[in-house]
Structure 1
Amino acid sequence: MIILVRHGEATHHTEHFTGGWTDSNLTDKGRRQIEAAAEKLAKDFSSKMPCFRILCSDLKRAHESAVIFAEKLGIEKVEDFAFLREKNNGKAAGLKESEARSIYCPPPTLKELDHRNYPGGETRREFFRRTVDGMHKVADWDKENLIIISHKGTIQNIIFDWLGMDIEDVNRLNFSVDILPSSLSVLGINKWKEHAIFRLNDLSHLQAQEGFGIHKFKLSAIDALCQK
């Protein structure tokens, strides 16, 4: 099982800085959003907690979110990885959105995979490969239970790869998924041994008090042993 969580609202959202590699913190609202998501997820495992690894981007807003999840779920370790960062926006990182516009390089079309929007930034292709190559290097997707706390574009890349799509397939099909702040998505292998999406962009924790209903999914059983 793979649980994907986007960090909560961050200061770059409210102070109008660029996102990407700008190293912003969670706002008070963002912390409340993540606490609600973590508390709701904990209700799914109130009787028995599976062995989860928590992997997160090393940017502050994602790491802060991961620490909250770890505390709520009783997981001792958070693993930070630079490959789980959002798309690198190069020289625009740390700039106000109004300042970044002066160095923005618009693509010729909306279908470009090898264009750099900002000097020193990544292309869509480079971003995709960095994300999925890093994931396959550090985790066994089909055999481990993972909670991955990261960013919109990074989570999108993970979902695309889970569905067997390369970035060229995504581009050709004009396909995307929306991933909002603090949202939770769940991937897993179903009883037919298919790679499935069980939840996508779920924000019900901001309204409801019950769990996410993870035990109702028709997941293929994965026996993951905790290594203390």
Structure 2
Amino acid sequence: MIYLFRHGKTVLNAQQRYQGGVDIGLSDEGVSQFKALATDFKSDLVSPKAISTIYCSPLRRARQSAELLQAVLGGHCKVEIRLELKEMSFGEFEGIEKSSIRQLYPDYYPQDWQNPYISMEVAFPQGESLSDVYQRIAGFCTEIEEDVSSNIVVGHGGVNKMLLARMLKLDAQAREKYVTFTQDYQDIIEINRQQGRASYRVIN
């Protein structure tokens, strides 16, 4: 079993600004929110000690979240930082309020488009595309697919979206449909692997 967590909230989240590679820690609200999420998760587990490893992004907000989760679960599982899990780069958008993007980059978004991601292949100005992230996490996904123990990944919205797409082995056409998939901060994605196939459900 694999459990995908999104890191807790930050001040930039509250300000509706793009984060990407900006290395910021959790806000007080984010700490409280993530502790509550971790506690609920532990209470629902049949055996918390079955969790072997918590993999996390190197960014502070993800590392803090992973350490909070480790403490709530009892400290038996290790936290392992993986560079591949760093959030996708939003390039020139990072630190900018989302409401200002259309004014500052009028030619980037289609007028009726509401999602920050346009397609798998379109990169943010001076940043990454979802396809870049999909390729970046390939080796990590193979590694955790071959691990028979139960593990946790504490990542980010863009990275977790592509992790799920890889684990489900979606083809190119199906991946395009996942461009608009969103994992809220209170959502835990449980991925079940059986006989080479994966399915998932959202726990919240």
Higher helix proportion: 2
| Residue 196 (str. 1) matches residue 199 (str. 2) | yes
Deviations 1:17-51 (A, max 9, x none): 32211222211121111111211222234656214
Using the TM superposition, name which of 108-117 and 73-82 deviates more. Answer: 108-117
* CA spacing shift, 1:82–1:168, aligned 2, 3 Å: farther
Post-superposition shift, 1:12? 0.9
* CA spacing shift, 1:43–1:107, aligned 2, 3 Å: same
- 8 A Cα contact 1:11 1:27, kept in partner: yes
2:32 matched to which residue of 1? 32
The separation in 1 between residues aligned to 2:145 and 2:8, in whole angstroms, is 26
Post-superposition shift, 1:147? 0.3
The separation in 2 between residues aligned to 1:52 and 1:20, in whole angstroms, is 28
Post-superposition shift, 1:86? 1.8
Name the count of aligned residue pairs: 197
1:113 matched to which residue of 2? 120
TM-score, length-scaled by structure 2:
0.81
Deviations 1:180-225 (A, max 9, x none): 01321101125x764121x31x33xxxxxxxxxxxxxxxxxxxxxx
2:175 to 170, 174, 179: 170
Task: Provide the alpha-carbon RMSD of the alignment.
Answer: 2.8
Post-superposition shift, 1:142? 5.3
- 8 A Cα contact 1:142 1:189, kept in partner: no
Using the TM superposition, name which of 38-47 and 152-161 deviates more. Answer: 38-47
Using the TM superposition, name which of 87-96 and 105-114 deviates more. Answer: 105-114
Post-superposition shift, 1:165? 0.8
Aligned letter for 2:44?
D
* CA spacing shift, 1:99–1:128, aligned 2, 3 Å: same
2:128 to 109, 122, 125: 122
- 8 A Cα contact 1:104 1:117, kept in partner: no
* CA spacing shift, 1:66–1:165, aligned 2, 3 Å: same
* CA spacing shift, 1:167–1:70, aligned 2, 3 Å: farther
Residues 60-139 of structure 1: pairs in structure 2 closer than 5 A: 60-74=60-74, 75-97=76-98, 102=104, 106=108, 112-119=119-126, 121-136=127-142, 138-139=143-144
- 8 A Cα contact 2:51 2:77, kept in partner: no
* CA spacing shift, 1:60–1:104, aligned 2, 3 Å: farther
Post-superposition shift, 1:59? 0.9
Give the secondary-structure state (helix, strand or coil) at the position aligned to 1:115. coil
Identical pairs, percent: 23
What are the ranges of 5 or more consecutive residues in structure 2 without an aligned counterpart? none
Using the TM superposition, name which of 15-24 and 54-63 deviates more. Answer: 15-24
1:157 matched to which residue of 2? 162
